[in-house]
Structure formats: C-alpha cells, structure tokens
Structure 1
Amino acid sequence: MRLRIRMTALLCAVLLPFLNGCAPASQKSQIAPSWLALESVEKERAVRTPAPRENGTPYRVLMVAISFDATVSVADCYLRGLKQTGWILENPLEDGQAVQYDGLFDGCELGPYLEVCGEKIYDIAADGQQAVSQAVQAYVDAGEADIIVTLGTEAAQLGKLHARDRVPVLAFPLADAVGSGIVKGEQYSGIPNVWAYTDPERYQRQLVLYHDLIPFKKLGLIYYDEGLGGRTGYREAAAQIGIELVERRIDPPPVSDGVDDETALASYWAGLEAACDELLEQEGIDAFMLTTQLIQPQQRAQAFIQRFHEAGVPVFIQTGEPLVEAGGLIMQESLVDEEVGQLVADVTVRVLCGEQPGDIMQPYTCTPYIVVNQQAARALNIQLPFELLISCEKIY
C-alpha cells in the first residue's frame, strides 16, 4: 500500500506543473485525490479466514454484468482477489481464453467456500435484460443467493431492484453511483443492503486535466441516462474552471432481448447524429466529452469520433481505452481494474463474514491511469506536453 501511494504521489508530482493554473487554489483542494479516504479503506482491510456457511455449504454468489466486453477485465481482477485470499481455488478468466460469460464456471473447481449461481455471470447484453431480470428474481425468491455482485450501472440497478432489502448487493464499476440512484450517498450507501464503489471527485479531476491540456471554452456532452453520463461531476468541474457545458439528451439505445432491434438501433443513431450536428453546427463547441456506453455498438466508435475530427474538435474519453484507440484524444481514468477488483473482493468477504454493506465505507481513489492517442493529436495539430506523455500507461 505504501508503495502504491508513493508511486501515485510521484505521478502527481510529475503532473503538478502541467496542472497548475487550471483552477483557483481554493478550488484545487476540492478536487485533489482523497488520500485519507484511500488510507482509511486500506486500514479497514483485514485477513478473514475462508469458511463455508454455518451449515457447511458454500456461500452462493450471484453475478450480473452489463456485458462481457465492458467488464471482463475488472471481473478477472475481482476473481483474482478472491483467489488470492483463499476464498476460491480457481479463476476461469485468468488464462484470458474466455470469450463469453455463459458457462464460465462449468467444470471450474472453486473450492468449499463459494459457488457461483448458474455457473455463469449473467450478461445483460448477451442474455437480454428480461431474461437476466427473471433469473435474478428467481434466485432471490428461492433464497438461493447469499450476495449479488453486479458489474456496471445497469446491472447494479437491476440487482438492487430485485434484491430489495433481502440480499446484499455490491456494485462496481460505476460512472455515478449516486446520480444513477444505486446509493444515496458517496461515503456510505444509506441503504443497509447495498454497497457501491464511489470516487466523488473522479470527473472533476478528469475534466481539470483535459482543460489544462487544451483550454477549451465550450464542452459538448450527449447522454441518455444522467447516472451513466456522470453529469453532476462535470457540471461542478465546469463551474470551477469557468467553461460552458452544452448538453443534449437523446433517447436510450434499444435493449437486446433476442428480438430484431435494427430499426430501434437505427433510430438511436439518428438521434445521436442529430445531437452531434446541433453541438457542432449550432452551438459551436470546441471540445466533446464522449461518455460511457454512448457508442453502441463500439465498432462504430471510429466513424463517430471522426465526425468531430473533421470539425477540428478534440474528443475526450470518459472511460474505455478502446475509445482512445478509435481516435479519442485522451482518457484519464481513476478506475484501475486491479485495485477496484481487489477492493470489491475484500468487501465481498467482509459482507459474507457478517458486516452490513451499508456500514462499509465506499470511496476509493485509484492510481491515475492515462492513455493518449498521438495520431489524433497530430490530426488536430495538438502538441501533447512531454510531462503528460511520460506519465501515460499507453500511447497510440
């Protein structure tokens, strides 16, 4: 832990000259990483000896994800965390060969302490929202789930809905746990059976970095769900650094339930492209924030981002390294899969050992993770500072 903090402090020291001037001193203190919160979480961790339920049978973990592609990395890190602490013996994602969640745990020797309901991670994108909803409800009604672990905002909303107050729910990774209605507060959930990963200053830090890189004046943002877009954090940051945030809301994308939704998807893209045209042609934005899950399917990301490049507008990425590879200029992510996966594995064990999710602190600030696209920068005639480049995890 001390090593991680020292490394993070060094990174911040490298970026400090780069970040100077992006906000008044009185405001910088409000958006600095919460090292005390990070230390507090670490101190609360303790080794808990693996054990089955009182009747000698394994605890039953019901896992739900928004999609395989969006969550497989953090799911792998979560299972690694459980394996490292001895609660499971095998992690089926560890070899990197899995291509879907269905049947993931078939033939997997997890050991005597935990079993996964249905021997799979229920996948909303692959299985359909209705089918996953019915499965979760059936497990809860039958009393066959001891804890529900959800990956992604929509999965968390679904899990919380069906668990009500009967089953503990853990939710991660999330764009905005409070804004999406999963929890009531950042520090503690305010809901006895729910815990969610939070980082209250995540988007403020991100937008400050982006603005210091390019001093834009009018930032465009499109969303279909306020909780997914992280709008609260961006609004606060925009007010702090003195820029205009121009927003457009569109209808949500179709939910795949095994029916032909090509017409609905075409309608979604028509609305999305119309919103882009408004921002570029009518509002005259000089930067755009691409929020999580806006591009569906993600194969269309490159063409979407190119619309902005043709107008000379840089595209900043909220989260998702593939979007940087597709042409986004930069992603500063405060959500490191390894750290969050280990954190939630620890929280899982604490809950199974008797703690109430609502009594466990939620905030955690991860080590900054920065990815840039040098090709996009050249296309936009942007010179990326050397101080930024040496702090990047990856450069495209």
Structure 2
Amino acid sequence: MKRIIAVMVVMMSILMAALTIVTIQKGTVENAYASTFKEDGTKWRIGYCESEDFITFTETLIGIVHGLEELGWIRNLDGFDIVAYTRDSKAIWNYLANRDIGPYIEFVDDGFYNLRDEGVTPEDIVDRLQRNKDIDLMLVMGTQAGISLSTDDHDTNIFVFAASNAVRSGIIDSVEDSGKDHVWAHMDEQRFERQIKAFHDIVQFEKIGMVYEDSDIARVYSAVNEVEKLAKDKGFEIVRYHVDEPLRSEEYSRYYQEVQEAYNQLAQEVDAVFVTIASLESDKLPTLFTPFYEKKIPVFSQLGNIEVEHGALMTISVMDEVNLGRFGADTIGKYLEGTKPRDLEQSFQVAPKIILNAEVAQKIDFMIPFELIIVIDEVYENIAK
C-alpha cells in the first residue's frame, strides 16, 4: 500500500509540473521585427559551440531553429527537416549557413565549433570572439562549452543550453542573475532531482549503482549531488565506480572495457542502477546492460528516450527540446530587440515524460504498477538492435 501511495504521489507531482509548464506559442507574422535590424543595417551573426557530439545538443538546436521560424525571425527553410533528421549538428549548421533565411539573422559559415574536433580549443574560440568581433551571439550547448565561453575575456553574447546545472558549474551566478551582462543560460534547477525521486518512489531501491568520471564537471552533469541529497533524505545507499571518459577515438576501447567491468561489479552489489549522462553509444547498451538483466536489476536512464529504446528499463524525460527551443527562440528574440542577456529570464521547466521499455520489464520480471501504467507517455515494445 505504501508503494502504491508513493507512486501515486510522484505521478501526481509530475502531472502538476506538466500543467505549470509555460509553452511559447506560435503566431508571429512576417516583418514583425522590422525595427530590430542592427544599427548598421546588417544581419545579426550567430555562431555555435557544442561540448561534443550529443543528441540533446542537436535536438535543442533544431528546436531553436523551429522556434525562430515560428516567431518570424527566419524563413525559407525548405528541406530543413530532411537535414535535421540526420541529427548531425554540423550538417544542420552547413544547411543554415548556406541559405538566405531572411533579412534578420545569418548563421556564420565558419562559426561552428565542436570542442572534441581536432584542432579546436576554447582558447582559440575566445580569442576569435575578442579579436575579430564578427559574431553577435553564440549558441552554446553543454556544460563544458558553457564553462569555456562564459568568460570575461570577451564580450560576445553567450546563450547556453543543455548544461546540466549552469549555476553549480559556474557558468552563471544564480537562476535570477547570470552575473555577466553578456551571458545567459537556461536553468531547470530541479530536473534531475525530480528524475531520481520518481525512480526511487517507483522502484523503492535500497542500493543504487552509478558509474561516472571522478571530476568536478562530471559530478555536475551526472547529477551526483542530487542523488547524494536524495540518498540522505530517503535512506538509500549509493555504490559508485569511476571511469575516465574518452577524449579521442582510440580511447573508446579502453573506456567500454572499464564501463563493462564496473557494470559487472555493480550487478553483484545493487538493486537498481542510475545510468548517468556519459559517452555511451546506444547500440552497445544491450551488451553493457546484460549483467543487470541477468540479476533482474532495473536500469534508469538520466539521458532519456534513446537509452530506454536501446535497453534501459525507464526514464523520466526532462528534456523537451521542442518547447525548450521555443523558449530559447523567444529569449533570443528579446535580446535582438534590445534586452541584455543578463536581464532575460533563465528558468524554464520542461514537461516531464515517463518512458518505458516493455521487453526490458519482461526480462527483469518488473511488475509495472497500475498507477504507473495509466500515466506512461511512451512505451518501446522491444530493445532496439
């Protein structure tokens, strides 16, 4: 009975959160921003920097583009959805940079950066921003990129998305005030706390396993502080193993061996696993998770849909890139109309979605409570191969 009540409470809290979400609406007419050209009459020049190749970064970029189109800032996106389907942020950028998308905005051809690309360093990007001053706004994706570019060494306007916790990582001073006139970062400060609390209320585990890199930045994007806080509140134990994230392609073999060894150990010690955001290729997950299937251990994904599709039991998705893109586009529009990034609202809570993999549930003999069944948003029938 206690478990049923707990499940009902957490589901109600999730639904209430969803009801309070602010959604940016469509409906802006063409030429609504005729007074917002740059003073010299040229287009606003936008650049982009991402921490690495990551599906959330690409989906957020796509969401922002669609949001800017809905608000009338850009147009002429014939064929964009075909390019977006590749989920290749560089290909998407090339498409945007080589089209006339209207009189207001230009996506700069050589303004795309991925910090994992060979020869790309944060220092060189900051130097370009300070020395050339040829970019008006940088779209920045991820914690590492946000930390690297939210510096006082330049004054180019920085808009940071998809950072795990922009306050804790030092990108901004607080939810209310970024602390720098040229810096803005999206914040949903309780999203990972909501995730892990929901998982505990549903599964009622006593020992949860985590594998992450032992570094300050990894603790932030792996939500370690949030899990530790809830462990104190709920009285469960955390069993953790540390691995070194791969920085180059030749390191992936070593990395996956370390992850598999850690998972093998965890399967002997825990009754639930929290898979943190990491450099795990989705097609390798069924093999990596095999020890958990054998021991009937539920696996919860911090990342979201793609890991549930490929072998995690469930997730409470906290990334709604469509509506986050609309919020981001609306925020960028306000900047283009004259508001400093520091003065813009940074907090936006996305609607959570419950996603489950039915094949995994069957593998581990997980009995889905009826109260959970009626609020599940999406079910994958099988593990993707």
Which TM-score bucket, shorter chain as reference?
0.7 to 0.9
The correspondence of residues 198-347 of structure 1 with structure 2, limited to 5 A, is: 198-224=187-213, 225-254=218-247, 256=248, 261-262=249-250, 264-281=251-268, 284-295=269-280, 297-347=281-331
1:104 corresponds to which of 95, 108, 132: 95
Amino acid at match of 1:190: G
Aligned to 2:383: none
1:63 and 2:48 correspond: yes
Q: CA deviation at 1:130?
A: 2.1
SS of aligned partner of 1:371: strand
Tell me how far apart the structure 2 counterparts of residues 18 and 364 of structure 1 sit (CA, whole Å): 26
Change (3 A) 1:299 1:129: farther
Q: Extract unaligned runs of 5+ from structure 1.
A: 1-15
Question: CA 1:196–1:106 in structure 2 vs 1: closer, same or farther (change >3 Å)?
Answer: closer
**Given the alignment of the two structures, is residue 158 of structure 1 paired with residue 157 of structure 2, yes or no?**
no
Shift in Å at residue 187 of structure 1?
3.4
TM-score by length of 1: 0.81
Report Cα offsets for 1:196-253 as digits up to 9, x if no partner: 1111211221112111221101111122211211222222222222222233332222
Could you say if the C-alpha distance between residues 167 and 35 of structure 1 is closer, same or farther in structure 2, counting changes exceeding 3 Å? farther
Partner of 1:371: 355
Question: 1:291 and 1:18 mapped to 2: Cα distance?
Answer: 24
Q: Give CA-to-partner distance per residue, 1:4-46, whole Å, 9 cap, x none.
A: xxxxxxxxxxxx95634679xxxx99xx84977x56x979xx9
Answer yes or no: is 1:356 the counterpart of 2:333: no
Q: Residue deviations 1:301-346, cap 9 Å, x none? A: 2211223222221110002311001110111112211111011111
Separation of aligned partners in 2, 1:197 and 1:294 = 23
The C-alpha deviation readout for 1:26-83, integer Å capped at 9, x for no partner, is: xx99xx84977x56x979xx99725220100001111122326443222111001111
**Where does 1:15-94 land on structure 2 (aligned, <5 Å)?**
19-20=7-8, 33=17, 49=33, 51-65=36-50, 66-67=52-53, 69-91=55-77, 94=80
Q: Provide the secondary structure at the position in 2 that maps to 1:346.
A: helix
Aligned residue identity for 1:115: E
Deviations 1:124-176 (A, max 9, x none): 45x34626763563244200111111122233233325x74511211112222
Q: 2:379 corresponds to which letter in structure 1?
A: I
SS at match of 1:130: coil
Please identify, of 209-218 and 379-388, the stretch whose mean Cα deviation from structure 2 is larger.
379-388
Query: Counterparts of 2:155 and 2:322 in 1: how far apart (Å)?
Result: 30
1:7 corresponding residue in structure 2: none
* Alpha-carbon RMSD: 3.1
Is it true that 1:123 corresponds to 2:123 in the alignment?
no
The code of the aligned residue for 2:351 comes to: T
Task: Please identify, of 337-346 and 100-109, the stretch whose mean Cα deviation from structure 2 is larger.
Answer: 100-109
Mapped partners of 2:80, 2:99: distance in 1? 12
Maintained 8 Å contact 1:177/1:227:
no
| Counterpart contact for 2:193–2:227, Cα < 8 Å | yes
1:190 paired residue number = 179
Q: What letter corresponds to residue 60 of structure 1 in structure 2? A: R
Change in CA separation of 1:320 and 1:363 when aligned onto 2, cut-off 3 Å: same
CA distance in 2, matches of 1:325, 1:35: 26
TM-score scaled by structure 2?
Answer: 0.83
In the alignment, is the contact (CA less than 8 A) between 1:370 and 1:394 conserved in 2? yes
Q: 1:311 & 1:368 partners in 2: Cα distance? A: 29
Q: Is the contact made by 1:60 and 1:115 (CA closer than 8 Å) also made in structure 2?
A: yes
Give the 3 Å change call, closer, same or farther, for CA 124–307 of structure 1 in structure 2.
farther
Contact 2:130 2:153 in 1 (8 A): no
Q: 1:119 to 1:336 in 2, by over 3 A?
A: same
State how far apart, in whole Å, the 2-side matches of 1:270 and 1:341 are: 36
Q: Structure 2: which amino acid aligns with 1:211?
A: H
Separation in 2 of the partners of 1:321 and 1:233?
21
Instruction: Give 3-state SS (helix, strand or coil) of 1:117's partner.
Output: strand
